[in-house]
Amino acid sequence: MSNYHSQSDNELRFLSTVRQAVAPDSDMPRDKRAYPEIFAYTDDRQLVDTVENRTDLDQQGLASAFMDNADPQSLSVYCIKSLDEAADIIVNIARNRVPEFSNNRHIIQHAHKDISGLKLWERFSEDPITVHTTYREDSELRDKTIASFIGITVADWGIADSATLVQCTRPGMPQSTSLVPSIHIGFVRRSRILANLSEAYAMMRRDSALNSWCFISGPSKTADIEAHMVYGAHGPKEMHICILEDTKT
C-alpha cells in the first residue's frame, strides 16, 4: 500500500490507463498471487547445468553458430585470440569511417577490464581521435556519449541461435554506449555464448540484482516506408562483434 501511494501522479495515471485497458471494470492494483500460472516458479536447474557443463569444444560450436546466424543480420563478427587483435580491428574501423553528425572523432567505451586492456588511448596517440570511458562519476558522460561516433561495450552473454548480445546495465556500463553512437562494437567472451533465449533467461534469473538489460541483434533498422530497409533509424547503423576466444573456468 505504501509503495502504491508513493508513486507520482504521472505514474498513477499511466497505471490507471493500463488497468482500464486490460480490465475495464477495475482500476485497483491486482495481487500477482491471484495469477500463479503467470508468476509460477521456473526451475532452471537443468538449463543451468547444461550451460555450466559445456566443454570448450561445445563453446567453439556455439561461436560458429553465432557467426553463421549473424550474416543475415548485417552483423560483422570476428573471432579473436587476443585483445591486441581486437584493438587492430577497432583502429581500422575508426580510421576508415566518417562520423555521421560531426567532424570530430570521439569514441566512448565501457569502463570494463576487457576494454581497458585494449589501450586504445595508446593506439590513437597520433590520430585526431579522442577516447572516453564511461566512468559513472563523470558529470560530462552524457555529452561525451552524444559526441561519440563509435561506442564499445562488453556483453554479459551472447545467444548463438539469433546472434544476439545480452547487455545488462551495470555501474560504468550504461546502455547508452550501444544506442547513441552511429557504430556499435560489442565484445563477448566465447565462454559466455549460450545456445538460445531459454538459457539466457535461466542465467539472468540467477542474478537477483539484475533489473535492466537489452538484447541486441544487429544494427538498428526499419522497413516501415515502402518496405525499403534503412539502417540507423533508431540506433547504430553499423555493428561489429568481437568474440574473444577463452577457456571455461
Which residue shows C-alpha cell 537477483?
A: 208
| DSSP secondary structure letter of residue 186 | E
Q: Are strands 76-80 and 193-194 parallel, antiparallel or unpaired?
A: unpaired
Note the pLDDT of residue 216.
95
Span 84-125, pLDDT tens digits: 999 999 999 999 999 988 889 999 999 999 999 999 999 999
Greatest CA separation for the chain: 67
| pLDDT at 128 (0 to 100) | 95
What is the percentage of the chain residues whose pLDDT exceeds 70?
Answer: 96
pLDDT value at residue 249: 64
Q: Which of 147, 150, 146 is nearest to 93 (CA)?
A: 150
Question: Which DSSP category does 98 fall into?
Answer: -
Please count the CA atoms within 13 angstroms of the CA of 43 that sit on its side-chain side: 1
Instruction: Quick: pLDDT tens for 147-195.
Output: 999 999 999 999 999 999 999 998 899 999 999 999 999 999 999 999 9
Question: Among 182, 196, 217, which residue's Cα sits nearest to residue 73?
Answer: 217
- According to the model, what pLDDT value does residue 1 have? 42
Using DSSP, state whether 184 is helix, strand or coil.
strand
pLDDT digits (tens, 9 = 90+) for 26-85: 777 778 788 888 778 788 999 999 999 999 999 999 999 999 999 888 899 999 999 999
Q: How far is CA 148 from CA 88, 142, 184, 188, 235, in A?
A: 19, 10, 11, 21, 13
Quick one: CA dihedral 230, 237, 215, 188, positive or negative? positive
* Nearest Cα to Cα of residue 77 among 67, 68, 69: 67
The alpha helices in the chain, defined as continuous H runs, are 2-5, 9-22, 45-52, 56-70, 83-96, 113-116, 120-123, 141-147, 176-179, 197-204
Mean pLDDT of the chain, nearest integer: 90
Q: What DSSP state is assigned to residue 53?
A: T
Gap between the Cα atoms of 247 and 249, Å rounded: 6
Residue 4 has pLDDT above 70, yes or no: no
Chain-centroid distance, C-alpha 41: 26
Residues 6+ apart with CB under 8 A from 7: 15
pTM, 2 dp: 0.84
Burial of 148 (0-12, 13-18, 19+ CB in 10 A): buried
pLDDT band, residue 2 (cuts 50/70/90): very low
**Distance (Å, rounded) from C-alpha 246 to C-alpha 188?**
10
